Amino acid sequence: MLSVRVQSSLSRIVALCVCAIVVGAVPTVAQTTGGPRGATTKERAFGVLTDFRLGLGATWLTKKDERFNWDIDFKTDLDIFDVGFARASVFFNFETIAGTEFRRVDPNQANYVLDMSVFGRLPRGELGATFHHVSRHLTDRANRQGISWNMLGVVYGDRLTLGGVDIRASVRALKTIEHSPQVDYEGEIDGSLKVTVPVNSRVAFYTDMTSVIVQVDPSVFDRNIRTGGLVEGGLRIGYSAAALELFGGWEARIDADPIALKTERLGMLGFRVLTLRP
């Protein structure tokens, strides 16, 4: 018979998993809808500029499509201040997609994500309010019309450790407050779940899953709710100054091409170099 403590831990895991997957019916996220975000839980601290995390990665996209060969990302996650019961953060992600349409290495789009958030610490987890901005740009292609949107919403994140296994989950709900004429997104709900299993003090295996549902205005492009997601697994190796992640996965990326407006299914193999603190 399980002890009360173990039963409580198991119930928390179930709750985290439900929160992460209830928002999507597919195994799972697009870079521009439901995509990268800052950490939703961090260790309590007091002061200014209390946390700073960097990441740089390159992903080979296995789909046989001349538009999508490489996905290169640079991200930074900065805590502006932390007063113990609350903190404010800024997250920025720059993404370049490269293909072979016009040349052997042909960057064809650049995407920018900016999140500004304020989190309050609860007895369990953190609850935050966030401003979410996305801007998409074609590279070396004619595009006189801007593609961007702004959202406001709430995010909840939680974290627990069970038998050395690190489990993190978050759920986010966003409402569009402004967008360019070429955007039909009205809001989105997304959830994520990441499980990290350490092998020793330097090496760990991890799996990361995200699901997203995007509500759209059917009068713009005559389409209905969009769903997408990402499932990824890999190896994390810690070194003296940084950590290396080697991973593979699968993604259903909503509107991977900002003009074609189609969900693309993409296989992935890649690496990331990250600051040591995950």
Instruction: Dump pLDDT digits (tens) for 63-87.
Output: 889 999 999 999 999 999 999 999 9
pLDDT tens per residue across span 197-225: 999 999 999 999 999 999 999 999 999 99
Predicted confidence (pLDDT) at residue 29 exceeds the cutoff of 50: no
HSE at residue 81, side-chain half, CA atoms within 13 A, is 5
Whether the CB-CB separation of 93 and 113 falls below 8 Å is answered with yes
Mean pLDDT, residues 142-155: 88
Detail the DSSP E strand segments found in the chain. 46-61, 70-83, 86-99, 106-121, 126-138, 147-162, 165-179, 185-198, 203-216, 226-238, 243-253, 264-274
- pLDDT category at 34 given cuts 50, 70, 90 is low
Predicted confidence (pLDDT) at residue 5 exceeds the cutoff of 70: no
Among the residue ranges 31-40, 62-71, 148-157, the one predicted with the least confidence is 31-40
Does the pTM surpass 0.75? The reply is yes
pLDDT value, residue 161: 94
Whole-number percent of the chain with pLDDT over 70: 87
Among the residue ranges 5-14, 21-30, 87-96, 224-233, the one predicted with the least confidence is 21-30
pLDDT value, residue 21: 41
pLDDT tens per residue across span 242-260: 999 999 999 999 999 988 8
Whole-number percent of the chain with pLDDT over 90: 76
Query: What does the angle CA 88 – CA 186 – CA 133 come to, to the nearest 5 degrees?
Result: 35
pLDDT value, residue 276: 81
Query: CA 216, CA 226: separation in Å to the nearest integer?
Result: 7
Mean pLDDT, residues 137-160: 89
Helix (H) or strand (E) holding 7: helix 4-21
Mean pLDDT, residues 54-62: 95
Among the residue ranges 9-13, 22-26, 103-107, 149-153, the one predicted with the least confidence is 22-26
pLDDT value, residue 27: 33
Architecture in CATH for domain 4-274: Beta Barrel (2.40)
Predicted confidence (pLDDT) at residue 25 exceeds the cutoff of 90: no
pLDDT value, residue 35: 73
Across the chain, mean pLDDT equals 88
Mean pLDDT, residues 168-185: 95
Token pair 């992600």 is at which residue? 93
Mean pLDDT, residues 180-184: 91
